[in-house]
Structure 1
Amino acid sequence: MTELLPLLLVLAIGPFLLAEGLLARYELMVWTVGWRTQVPVLPANLPYARGADPDRPPDAYLVYLDGIGKRRFTDTRDGGQLVQAVIAGAPELRVLGQVQPYSPLADPLVGRPVWDWLRRHIGITLFLHNVMQTFVAADRRYRPLYNHAVGGQIAEQLRLAGYAPGSGIPVVLLGYSGGAQMALGAVEELWTQLRAPLWAITLGGFHDGANDLTHAATVHRLTSGNDWIEQVSTWLFPERWRLLRRSPWNRALAAGKVRVHRLEPATHVGPLSYISPTARLDDGRSHLDRTTETVVGIIREECRAGRAGS
């Protein structure tokens, strides 16, 4: 019976994978041809950014792009604990957590009648939808369009949060899991629209290594040897292979732009994940505490270096 489980699983989700494979490009194409436009306006009770006083320039803007569980403006895989911890630990930052990285239309899945029905009856389709969107964003045929859409969404959300293009205030893109694909893909569009100093932080980053990182000053890779999902992306996408020395990712490595931060023994998801508030290190900190301190420390170090070099 055990040997039949993989086959039964494939048969169970196969139709949904086929449907998602056919439909995943639809939203991107609808946006590309102009049939629908992005809707940047948020619900009345949801701020465009939290943290530092909006009447004073923050040290930096942090845009958090969550993993494939993102379905609405407010949800994250940890209930928002990472964003809340960063805001509490770094009150000098303005933090945006509402961006919809898996929707070229900036439209949450929750609230769409068909998806609400699927959520109640076949919840796995929401998961598969965002998985497929990640692979569309990594597909060389659609990558430029997807990067343009998500980068434009982030730029508009930053402007609505008070960011002044050309102000010189840094923008930090923090991408968890599949959010790393979207974060690295947004770099060039953000540079084009905002001319902002840009840094990226990938947390268990699942990405293809094919996005141009010329205008990312630094990419900080937060990883763990126990994170098998991130490891899959290092062999799944040829641009991550060391053999392809001229790929954007390998050029960034050669230029010294990529800095690695080890977060053992954290896992990608589950009770030992990077953002677990219960898993404890030998020094008594939770995994969430350490990840938060690492993110905040990186941003503060980069801000100090930026001020020293200006």
Structure 2
Amino acid sequence: MVDTLLNVLWFLGIFFVGILIWAALSPFETMGWWAGWFGDTIYEEPVPSDGLLRRVHHDTTSYVLFLSGVGRTSSETLSHRERVFLEHLAHVAAKTVIIDDVFPYSVNNLSLTAQPIFARFWRRALQWKQHGPRFAGNLINLRNIFQILISIDKRYGPMYNQGVAEVLFHGLLRYNYRPECEMPVFLVASSGAAQIAVGAAPYLKELVNAPVYVVSVGGVFGSDPGLLDIDHIYHLYGSKDAAVRWSNLDAGRWPISASSTWNRAKRQGRVSEVCLGAMCHSGRGSYLDFRAKTATGQPYVEKTARTVSAVIDEAIALRTALDLSTVGGEIAEAQS
């Protein structure tokens, strides 16, 4: 009995030491990209338009870049719930180009299953995640969580976030985005990808020279400096989302931290928080659940998609009103 217990403790010790070493080595991918070791190639996994997503309209008014949660291994591995959500969003936001083939957990859009050294390992991990044992498959989640921690780190975050911004900009250009048109861009991000969206948005704004908004769907993010540079962040959350509640424990979110970027952004009117009801973070009863319904019979995924669409419409309307008031002020000044 004692020997068995010692063996278990030894195994756990080795496991946690391995995790710590893995975490310590995680920034080297970003540092290698920054140093130019991997070249400046942004990899593409183009997915043909299905008539709804990745479709450029003649009367397009905005672009949406969807940043998935931590379970993703490439730009093509969206979950079924995520695909259903994006299809709903495409129906209700008919004048918006929705781009879902970017991988926010890589500074050059290279999928885990295409990496030169560990591709075979990540393909096996993806099989574990899909067919079991699921615990082993969660290595994908852990790896992507480390990338989120890099995004918020003050030392490596600026490098990582700039790389992701270039990946996002490249994704926009592939679908006929023209920076000279100053068309608004919305980063719709779920779970930990919201932190990456907040971190990358200021750099993306410099590249597109247009308004950039973050729409967090149950997003987890810290008091990032990017909050003061983006045009607005809309934080959609559910009352049963434990992950969102845990993120509120960040000291930068506390009301007493008056000088934190989160509280400064709120005072500047850059933050809107919207409760979607009794939704949880993932799985059944989550924001993207197409079986669970509200009291009025509306599927959760439909409510989430319609709320995101309403946010896009509101942001565009406010921006248009601001532009018109600016033009009106210039005309009045010219006439005076």
The answer, yes or no, to whether TM exceeds 0.5 is yes
In structure 2, the partner of 1:117 is 124
In structure 1, the partner of 2:286 is 273
Q: Once the two structures are superposed, what CA deviation does each residue of 1:45-98 show, in whole Å capped at 9, x if it has no partner?
A: 445995586362511001111110121112224251111111122121001111
In structure 1, the partner of 2:111 is 108
* More moved, 15-24 vs 133-142: 15-24
In structure 2, the partner of 1:98 is 101
Which letter does structure 1 place at the counterpart of 2:110? D
User: Aligned in 2, Cα 1:165/1:29: closer, same or farther, shift over 3 Å?
Assistant: same
In structure 2, the partner of 1:24 is 26
Q: What is the CA-CA distance between 1:115 and the residue it aligns to?
A: 1.7
Which letter does structure 2 place at the counterpart of 1:116? R
2:75 & 2:265 partners in 1: Cα distance? 32
The aligned runs of 1:1-310 (5 Å cut-off) are 14-37=16-39, 39-43=41-45, 45-46=47-48, 51=53, 54=56, 56-77=58-79, 78-111=81-114, 112-120=119-127, 122-235=136-249, 237-310=250-323
| Helix, strand or coil at the partner of 2:173 | helix
User: Aligned in 2, Cα 1:49/1:157: closer, same or farther, shift over 3 Å?
Assistant: farther
Structure with the greater alpha carbon radius of gyration? 2
1:13 & 1:269 partners in 2: Cα distance? 26
8 Å Cα contact 2:284/2:292 also seen in 1: yes
1:49 & 1:241 partners in 2: Cα distance? 45
2:82 & 2:205 partners in 1: Cα distance? 30
- What count of residue pairs does the alignment treat as equivalent? 304
Structure 1: stretches of 5+ with no match in the other structure: none
| Helix, strand or coil at the partner of 2:225 | coil
Q: What is the CA-CA distance between 1:13 and the residue it aligns to?
A: 5.2
User: Aligned in 2, Cα 1:266/1:12: closer, same or farther, shift over 3 Å?
Assistant: farther
Q: What is the CA-CA distance between 1:292 and the residue it aligns to?
A: 0.5
2:50 & 2:28 partners in 1: Cα distance? 27
Q: What is the CA-CA distance between 1:276 and the residue it aligns to?
A: 0.4
| Helix, strand or coil at the partner of 2:145 | helix
1:48 & 1:10 partners in 2: Cα distance? 46
Q: Once the two structures are superposed, what CA deviation does each residue of 1:156-181 show, in whole Å capped at 9, x if it has no partner?
A: 11112111113121101111011100
Q: What is the CA-CA distance between 1:306 and the residue it aligns to?
A: 2.1
Which letter does structure 2 place at the counterpart of 1:91? A
Q: TM-score, normalised by structure 2?
A: 0.83
Q: TM-score, normalised by structure 1?
A: 0.90
Q: Percent identity?
A: 25
User: Aligned in 2, Cα 1:293/1:118: closer, same or farther, shift over 3 Å?
Assistant: closer
Structure 2: stretches of 5+ with no match in the other structure: 129-135, 324-336
8 Å Cα contact 1:206/1:229 also seen in 2: yes
In structure 1, the partner of 2:328 is none
User: Aligned in 2, Cα 1:45/1:292: closer, same or farther, shift over 3 Å?
Assistant: closer
2:47 & 2:157 partners in 1: Cα distance? 33
